[in-house]
Amino acid sequence: MGAAGLAPANSLAAIEAALRVGVDLVELDVWSTQDNHLVLGHFDWIRPVMAGASLQEGSSGAHDAVARGQHWLRTTSAWHRWPRISRTTLAELQALANPPVLLEEALDLLRGRAVPYLDLRDSRMTERLCTLVRAKAPDGVILSAGPHRSFQAELALLPEAQATSGFAIPLFGRALSAESIAAVTRASIRRARRMGASGLSVEYHLVRPPLVEICREEDFFVFAWTVDDPATMRRLASLGVDGITSNRPDLFHF
């Protein structure tokens, strides 16, 4: 998503903000349009630009809270009517007030400056994705997706690429014992290998010594996500993770 804490997520401005900090990788969320063009977006929908959606500079805390509540209510009642990337043509998306960025534009911006870390959000993009990566990402690419998404088709066309398989346990992850973390890590590595991955992308609460140690034993690399707190960044770095995904890469200077 680039530096999503410094500019809108998956925008060229967010990518440029991350590059100015000096990052090695830039994560981008990739979707395929109805007519097989690849664009960036965290979700499959595009939120329309709405008047009054942003908070007013200098407004009071109480005013901000009310504005956030009103914005949340508008979102929950309207999101299902927003344009879906996967069900919309590129021409229709580009006619919107806030069209998504094309993947090829993002790759052009990254070329020679950082490696693309592409989170594949659907399974209909293999040939188009690999064509773009071969043409526009000479420094290589790392692929990413959820735990049940296979990378075998992409790796057959891009044998030099690497991939991370997602790993998260919503709600209860913080309460897991060291023994449970170890067992889940081993199971996740077995599944990730079947999918073609050679690394785990792990929700940061789960990154503890047993997980890192097992990944080292199994020759798996570890990325932690999403961390915007310097103290947590320091903890993860001390454990030896291979990468940290953050909306605020400017906070990595410690």
| pLDDT of 194 strictly over 90 | yes
**What is the model's pTM?**
0.88
- The answer to whether residue 50 sits within a structural domain is no
119: left (phi over 0), alpha (psi -120 to 50) or beta: beta
Give domain status of residue 52, yes or no: no
- Domain annotation covers residue 2: no
Residue 149 belongs to some domain of the structure: yes
Q: Domain for residue 89, yes or no?
A: no
Residue 56 maps to a domain:
no
pLDDT digits (tens, 9 = 90+) for 54-108: 433 344 455 555 555 555 555 556 667 789 999 999 999 999 999 999 999 999 9
In a domain, 3, yes or no: no
CATH number for 217: 3.20.20.190
Residue type, 12: L
pLDDT in tens, 113-154: 999 999 999 989 999 999 999 999 999 999 999 999 999 999
Is residue 216 predicted with pLDDT exceeding 80? yes
φ/ψ bin of 241: left (φ > 0), alpha (ψ from -120 to 50), beta (otherwise): beta
Q: How many domains does the chain have?
A: 1
In a domain, 178, yes or no: yes
Domain holding 191, by residue range, is: 12-43+103-252
